[in-house]
Structure 1
């Protein structure tokens, strides 16, 4: 991946200078198609723009979005990105579909250090597992709330990280925000 950045903020390497946001796709339908080709349900088409507006409210300017190639993640991103003030470079990443926690961490480790803020649009159980694994610390009450909710569709977690993407591993981040559409 080769990505130029456009966001300001704190300098790379300072505590929590980077943000990784993990967005689970919106509610999908169950038609007679392969799992990879499942589209969004009506509720998902309503929730995805709401998630996009809430992402915009965080004030994070994303340098890069990595989106699973599944139909439901691409459709979620298409509806959410229109709510952001700036459209980040988007890479549709096949490896995110059905990715294990280890595979997701390996993918994060490949992000160029010029990227400060990245958004991953993916699936459970991977998004929840990654949010839980990276969050060694959290703002008050966020970890238990995330654990109780089970990371529903359209939910997202904002994790602050310091250091390079290559150094991302279990417990290195701080859960800064956690949002679900039906709180």
Structure 2
């Protein structure tokens, strides 16, 4: 039986300075710095690069995703944008995860709170009070079918403040 690995990344800190819709909100300078900090750390420390990557269509999530993928040397044209990841409750995200193609064993998704904190707690075995912006959670499932995933093992949690001295 093969395992499934899900990496959840909350978008980086966004800026509220612009008069735009929620979906169009850009990253703040700190968000860009944090996304680079986290993704470079993951890459430098040999954390597994995903086979496939999905992002919410929201500007702040997609920009975070592109920063990560540039630092992973992952082709930006392979990022798949999924409306279901523009979700704050988590219901659509759970549906999305459990309907993933079983050919994928290693998936990374970019999206939003409160959905991503609650999904980290539903599927992971380590309680997370709040997944911060640019926060990463990796969960390993002993399953060869996304439809059947249950409680997995939280392999990694990485938050920007852990890397800032």
TM (norm. structure 2) is 0.88
Q: Does 1:97 align with 2:83?
A: no
Q: Does 1:69 align with 2:48?
A: no
Q: Which residue of 1 aligns with 2:119?
A: 130
| C-alpha displacement of 1:62 | 0.7
The Cα offsets for residues 46-76 of structure 1, whole Å up to 9 and x where unpaired, read as: 1111121233235213111110000001111
Uncovered stretches (5+) of structure 2, i.e. residues with no partner: none
Task: Tell me the distance in 2 between the aligned counterparts of 1:58 and 1:102.
Answer: 32
User: What do you get for the CA RMSD once the two structures are aligned?
Assistant: 1.6
Q: Which residue of 1 aligns with 2:70?
A: 82
Q: Which residue of 2 aligns with 1:60?
A: 48
C-alpha contact (below 8 Å) 2:94/2:119 kept by paired residues? yes
| C-alpha displacement of 1:102 | 2.3
Q: How does 1:88-167 map to 2 (within 5 A)?
A: 89-135=78-124, 137=125, 143-144=126-127, 146-147=128-129, 150-163=130-143, 164-167=145-148
Q: Which residue of 2 aligns with 1:28?
A: 14
C-alpha contact (below 8 Å) 1:50/1:80 kept by paired residues? no
Candidates 175, 178, 183, aligned match of 2:154? 175
| C-alpha displacement of 1:99 | 4.4
SS in structure 1 of the partner of residue 26 of structure 2:
coil
TM (norm. structure 1) is 0.80
